[in-house]
Amino acid sequence: MRGQESERGFFSKMMGSSFYKKFILPGLISQSVVIAGGYGTGRELVEYFGNFGSLGGILGMALVTTTLWAVVYAASYEFARTFKVYDYRGFFKELLGPGWMLYEVCYLVLLLIVLGVVGAASGSIFKQAFGLPPLVGAGLFLAGVVTLTFFGSYVIEVALSWWSFVLYAVFLVFLFVGLSKVGGQISANLVSGDIREGWALGGFKYAFYNLGTLPAVLFALNYIETRREAIISGILTAILTILPGFFLYLVLMGFYPGILEAELPAYTILSQIAPWLLPIFLVVLFGTMIETAVGFIHAVNERVNSWMVDHRNTELTKANRGLLGGAMGLIGLGVASFGLIGLIAKGYGTISWGFFLLHGVALFTIGLYKMNKKGGKAPA
């Protein structure tokens, strides 16, 4: 009993510590929101990395995606800190002025695509894991979305960060099992040096469509107090976000190139090398579907809330937050009918250009100018 109290005390202190809130929490939230739309099924990694060769994918992931994330997150965190803007409406109004509505259009399109991706996967997960009708998975997905959006920022912050620890544990087990079963094939495929044209563009597109998740992280940045903290936190966010995807990609390379044709590569691999881990992985993946949806929807709720405060001097109620969450979750299940591969291949690739222009280019031109004008040197 005393040990349990000590353990609870340790984790409570850790989550309440300044270091955790400034440097770890943003990365865990980012990773929680990215995973389901970014690499949870493995299909995304195949589309933007695996298709460019076993080694080409590693180069795209390490040299392009991770570097872009680190630079853009660091600058974005500093911009949010400088102007005290912690929802995407405030952030992009400050960055783009009247043009911020263009970003909102891109964000809402990405929201629909991501909800479609998680909706397409959530309905089948419980059927694959336990033989239950897809309607059960869809119903639980909606219930989870409504519950978390109802309770708001604090509960979402805790849920997303804690589920990240569970996620990391499962992905590490996945990696160890993969290395023990097909480690030789992984090494052979990487050593072959297969690099195909387009790996840099693949990493670029992957980086920028996933940077559309920034609005889901903004609410947790108010703990950051200095420029140094913003830059370090941004770099750590990039590392914490990419690591689970890197673990999964390594295992995928044990089945390269045949795995490129699989709709759900992670499911295909686990069914072959570790059937006992498959139900656990699918349940954890289902949780990430809810997390990703909640992260995107909560950003919309915060945007609506900021508008209501500005124009009606009142805040969005918990009931309305839950209703909006449920409505958007239902829309996602409808979009899912377009199919997983099509949504990932065409939807994500197209929308990444909008985020590149309205977030990346704007941040390193208008954003740096405004931060410099407000006081002090622009961030390195």
Residue 5 predicted with pLDDT over 80:
no
Confidence of residue 37 (pLDDT cuts 50, 70, 90): low
Rounded to an integer, the average pLDDT of 297-324 is 78
Residue 342 predicted with pLDDT over 80:
no
Rounded to an integer, the average pLDDT of 254-264 is 86
**pLDDT, position 237:** 96
**pLDDT, position 7:** 43
Q: Is the peptide bond before 257 cis (omega within 30 degrees of 0)?
A: yes
CA distance to 3, 109, 160, 226, 357, per residue, from 35 (Å):
33, 18, 11, 29, 23
Higher pLDDT, 324 or 376: 324
Rounded to an integer, the average pLDDT of 335-354 is 60
The residue whose two tokens read 């109802």 is 150
Higher pLDDT, 85 or 108: 85
Residue 4 predicted with pLDDT over 50:
no
List the chain domain ranges.
24-374
**pLDDT, position 11:** 47
pLDDT tens column, 189-212: 998 888 999 999 999 988 887 887
- The pair phi, psi for residue 224, each rounded to 5°, is -75, 130
Q: How many helices (H) and strands (E) does the chain have?
A: 20, 0
**pLDDT, position 9:** 52
For the ranges 150-159, 212-221, 292-301, the one whose mean pLDDT is highest: 212-221
Helix (H) or strand (E) holding 47: helix 43-48
Per the prediction, the chain carries an average pLDDT of 82
Measure CA of the first residue to CA of the last residue in the chain; give whole Å: 50
pLDDT tens column, 112-166: 777 776 766 676 666 766 677 777 777 777 787 778 787 766 777 777 777 778 8
The answer to whether 26 and 242 are in contact (CB under 8 A) is no
The listed CATH number (3.90.1150.10, 3.30.420.10, 1.20.1050.10, 1.20.1740.10) that belongs to domain 24-374: 1.20.1740.10
Percent of the chain with pLDDT over 70: 84
Token pair in block for residue 137: 């998975």
In whole angstroms, give the CA distance from residue 285 to residue 42. 11
Higher pLDDT, 181 or 278: 181
Considering the entire predicted model, what is its pTM? Answer: 0.81
The residue whose two tokens read 């865990």 is 28
Token pair in block for residue 75: 């600058």
Rounded to an integer, the average pLDDT of 80-97 is 92
Instruction: Return left, alpha or beta for 324; rule: phi > 0 is left, psi -120 to 50 is alpha, else beta.
Output: alpha
Higher pLDDT, 197 or 322: 197
Confidence of residue 2 (pLDDT cuts 50, 70, 90): very low
